[in-house]
C-alpha cells in the first residue's frame, strides 16, 4: 500500500482545480474564476511544507508566507471590489512585514524583527493616510518613530541578556 504524502494531496487538489477551471472555460459551470487565488495559496503552502520538511532554507518559508498571504488578500478583493486596491495597496507592505515577523519567530535573527516592525508600521500608516484622509500623512512620522522606539527596546533587552550570560561565566 502506498503512503499518502502531503504533496500527493496538493497534486489531487491541483487536478481537481484544473478540471473545475476547464469546466468553466467550456461554460458548463460558472463562477469558478473567483477561486483563482487558490493557486498561489497552494504554492505558498508548498513552500512552507518544503521549509518544515528540510528546516534549512528560511527563504522557502518567506516565499510561502508571502505568497499565501497575498492570495488571501486576492480572495478578499475577488469577493469585494478590486477598485479597493487604490486605497489598500499598502497591505502588500504589511504582508512583507508579517513575512519577516514569521521568519524572525523561527530564526531569531534580530534584523528580521526590525524589518518587520518598520514595514508593518509603514504599511499601517499608509493605509491610514490613503484609506481615511490624506491630511493624516503625519501619522506616518509618528508610526516610524514608534517603530524605532520598539526596536530600541528590543535592542536593550538583547544587550541585557548578553550581559547576563557573560556574568554567569
The string of pLDDT tens digits covering residues 22-60 is 998 999 988 888 888 988 998 999 899 889 888 888 999
Same-domain status, 110 and 144: yes
Last residue of a domain, one of 55, 80, 105: 80
As for how many domains the chain has, the answer is 2
Same-domain status, 101 and 75: no
For residue 96, the enclosing domain spans 82-169
Same-domain status, 43 and 119: no
Same-domain status, 86 and 74: no
Q: How far apart are CA 3 and CA 29, in angstroms?
A: 34
Last residue of a domain, one of 44, 61, 80: 80
Last residue of a domain, one of 24, 49, 80: 80
Answering whether pTM is above 0.85, one says no
Q: Are 37 and 75 in contact (CB under 8 A)?
A: yes
Q: Are 42 and 13 in contact (CB under 8 A)?
A: yes
Q: How far apart are CA 89 and CA 68, in angstroms?
A: 17
Same-domain status, 64 and 92: no
Same-domain status, 90 and 70: no
Query: For residue 126, what pLDDT band results from cuts at 50, 70 and 90?
Result: confident
Amino acid at each position: 500500500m502506498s503512503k499518502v504524502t502531503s504533496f500527493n494531496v496538493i497534486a489531487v487538489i491541483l487536478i481537481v482545480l484544473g478540471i473545475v477551471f476547464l469546466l468553466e472555460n467550456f461554460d458548463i459551470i460558472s463562477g469558478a474564476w473567483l477561486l483563482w487565488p487558490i493557486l498561489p495559496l497552494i504554492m505558498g503552502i508548498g513552500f512552507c511544507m518544503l521549509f518544515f520538511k528540510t528546516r534549512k532554507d528560511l527563504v522557502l518559508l518567506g516565499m510561502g508566507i508571502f505568497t499565501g498571504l497575498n492570495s488571501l488578500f486576492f480572495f478578499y478583493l475577488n469577493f469585494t471590489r478590486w477598485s479597493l486596491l487604490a486605497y489598500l495597496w499598502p497591505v502588500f507592505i504589511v504582508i512583507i512585514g508579517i513575512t519577516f515577523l514569521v521568519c524572525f519567530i523561527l530564526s531569531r535573527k534580530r534584523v528580521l524583527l526590525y524589518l518587520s516592525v518598520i514595514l508593518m508600521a509603514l504599511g499601517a500608516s499608509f493605509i491610514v493616510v490613503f484609506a481615511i484622509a490624506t491630511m493624516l500623512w503625519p501619522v506616518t512620522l509618528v508610526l516610524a518613530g514608534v517603530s524605532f522606539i520598539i526596536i530600541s527596546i528590543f535592542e536593550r533587552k538583547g544587550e541585557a541578556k548578553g550581559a547576563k550570560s557573560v556574568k554567569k561565566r
